Amino acid sequence: MFWRALSLRSKLLFLTLAGLMLLGIFSYLQVMRSFRVRESMAKNDFRSKAVMASQAIGAAFHERYMDVQAFANHSVFQGQNKEAIVQTLNNYVESYKAYDALVLVDADGKFVASNSKTFDGKPVDSKNLEGRTFTDTPWFQRAVRKEYLEDKAKGLTGSVVEDVQIDSMTSALFAGTQYGMSFSRSVVNSEGRITGVLTARVSLRFVESELRGVYDALQSSGYSTGESLLINRDGLLLAEVSTETATERSELKRNPDKILRWNLATQQGQQAASEALAGRSGSLVEPDRIDRFERIWGYNAVNEKRFLDQLGWSVIVSASTDEVFADLLSQRRLFLSGFFGIAVVFGLFGYGLARNLAREILEQSNKLKDECSRLIELGEGLDGVLHKASHSNSENNSVAGVASSTVKSIFAQAGDCGEALMETAKRSRDFHDKALLSEHSVQRVAVEMTLARTATEQLSQFERELQDASTRLSTFSDFVFKAQLLGYNASIEANRAGVNGRGFASVAQDMETLVENATEALRELADGLNKSQSRVLDLSSSIRRSVSDGETLMNEARLSVSQFQGEFVAIAESIDTVRSALVAKEDALKNVFDSVAQLDGASSRSQSVYAELNRGVQELREQAERIEDLIHDMSSSVRGQRTRSRGRRQSQTQSAVAAVFKRSQDLSPDQVRADAVDRLAQKMRPRLVVKSEDSEPEVTDTSSDDINSRRVS
């Protein structure tokens, strides 16, 4: 429901932003993955630095472990030449630069000799050690008892090792607090007897130099907050190289508040220190408990093959994440800002496109709405035309019914006229018989010659009336022929009207049938009239002959004349009956003419309706094509293609539609009837009728009217 309630512009904008968001999420995930890979690489780098420092410290430790054994085997320590011993010790200190002091004591723990200068040539005052006894020191006791700190699996044997501490011996030599560790070894003569103990007091420089190398690498990478640390198995800090302790010289400024006092595992709670003390190697990111900012930590327990695991040293390398991930953070900020900017730009761009497209589609929709309204108007117009066609069909049916009833009445009247004529003929035959029978009495009617002449004149008048009836019968025959011709024209127009002219076809067929029957009846009636006329003519000539010959028979025909008078009255009555029937037939023919005129007008209206229907269907087709074009334009607008202009075509079509339905609305029944009468008058012009034995009558209109010529069959 929410999606349906949105506008097209909102939907397009939503889809654009959704696609952009999906693309952004994919890009963000890929960039974050790249960042995580780089973070992992940075962590691995710190871990690798810790591992390298551990390896270097292990190697340095191995050298120191083995150096004291080599020193103790020197033969100079078997003699009593103190100067030679001091010189040898000075050489060792100067050569290795890792020792603060090398001290030789005898088997009883008494001080014998030590180096007289440092590795850099500074003098060392050994007077503080002269006369001292070291029998109570752990390193001496272990060396005499040969309790060495060893790892035979790694090849480390024969040396006493003391972990980093505040060295009291070097502190006494240098008159200050000194930190270091010791490697001690008993001096044995050729007989295997211990003659003394050599202890090498190792400065923290041997581990600080390795840590300094890692620190310098961090500094060269641009990590100003980098530091490298060494802790023992308890987590106490043994050595630190950082911006706080590092100087331009190789010597470090050791902080007594941290060395052997600062416990990273327990006091500061650094997880890296705890992981290193557990013997693990790795890297992590966590806040510095002292400085309160996040750092990346690399840690590694020193468990090299050349190092004693009993010491439990661990190396920790760290730097601020702001420096380590500075480029990553800048790239991330750049990516996020760029992505936000691109999202805003594309969002505005998509909003503009969506608005433009929505406006175009709205315009096309309005045009489509107008075209649909015009289509509805066309449909209403066609509905009116169909209503008119239905009304016209009903009128045609009613007119056809009237014409049919009229023709039936004509047939009935023709039958009455035929009966009257038959009666007249019968009476004429009876009169003829009586005249023949009265021929022998003509002599007796001489007196009545005047009456015979009068009868002759009446008979001549009867003959004229028969001729008048024959003339009227010929007129009726002409009317029947015209009705037949109109039936043919109605059939032609019905064939042209198609489905809408089925009623006309039925009416035309009925008219043809009725006209054929009327024609046959008229033919028989005409034959009867002709026969009657011929008989009347024969009778008239016979009467004339009788009158000419009966001048001498007047007296004898007097009795017969009285009978003739009655017969003449009956014949006159029959003729009156025929005259009345002919008058009724003339009225019926007028009615048929009116019906045919109405039928022709209805046919014309049907033709007009059919033409209007054709035009309406054509306009509907064109309107559908325009709607299809508008839909195509709408789809083209959605696809970004160019649309076509159809304003002129639409205006022309609209005017044509208006004209069509204006014409259909302007046609009134009176105008239609007047048009039908005009067309009927044109049809009633003189026509040439040619009959053939094997075909229907062929009618050729002598006029040049195209409409009439189209309706001729």
Helices (H) and strands (E) in the chain, counts: 15, 14
pLDDT digits (tens, 9 = 90+) for 129-174: 888 899 999 999 999 999 999 999 988 999 999 999 998 888 888 8
State the amino acid at position 381 in one-letter form: G
Annotated domain spans of the chain: 2-60+209-324, 73-203, 376-687
Mean pLDDT of 311-337: 84
Short-list 301, 126, 92, 305, CA closest to 202 = 92
409 conformational bin, left if phi > 0, alpha if psi -120 to 50, beta if neither: alpha
Determine the pLDDT at residue 486. 75
Under the banding of pLDDT at 50, 70 and 90, the label for residue 56 is very high
Tell me how crowded residue 688 is: count the other CB atoms within 10 A of its CB: 9
Q: Are strands 227-231 and 687-690 parallel, antiparallel or unpaired?
A: unpaired
Determine the pLDDT at residue 441. 57
The per-residue pLDDT of the chain, averaged, comes to 75
Residue 159 near residue 114, CB atoms below 8 Å: no
* Contact residues for 139 (Cβ-Cβ < 8 A; gap 6+): 160, 162, 182, 184, 197, 199
Topology (CATH) of 2-60+209-324: Beta-Lactamase (3.30.450)
pTM: 0.51
Mean pLDDT of 231-249: 88
pLDDT digits (tens, 9 = 90+) for 388-418: 766 766 666 676 666 567 656 665 665 666 6
Site of tokens 């408990």: 289
97 conformational bin, left if phi > 0, alpha if psi -120 to 50, beta if neither: left
pLDDT digits (tens, 9 = 90+) for 520-546: 777 777 777 677 667 667 766 766 676
Query: CA 689 to CA 701: how far, in whole Å?
Result: 9
Q: Which CATH number fits domain 73-203: 2.60.120.20, 3.30.465.10, 3.40.640.10, 3.30.450.20?
A: 3.30.450.20
Tell me how crowded residue 116 is: count the other CB atoms within 10 A of its CB: 15
Per CATH, 2-60+209-324 and 73-203 having the same topology is answered yes
Distance of CA 429 to the CA centre of its chain: 101
Query: CA 360 to CA 365: how far, in whole Å?
Result: 8
Under the banding of pLDDT at 50, 70 and 90, the label for residue 585 is low
Determine the pLDDT at residue 684. 47
* Residue 87 pLDDT > 80: yes
* Residue 713 pLDDT > 50: no
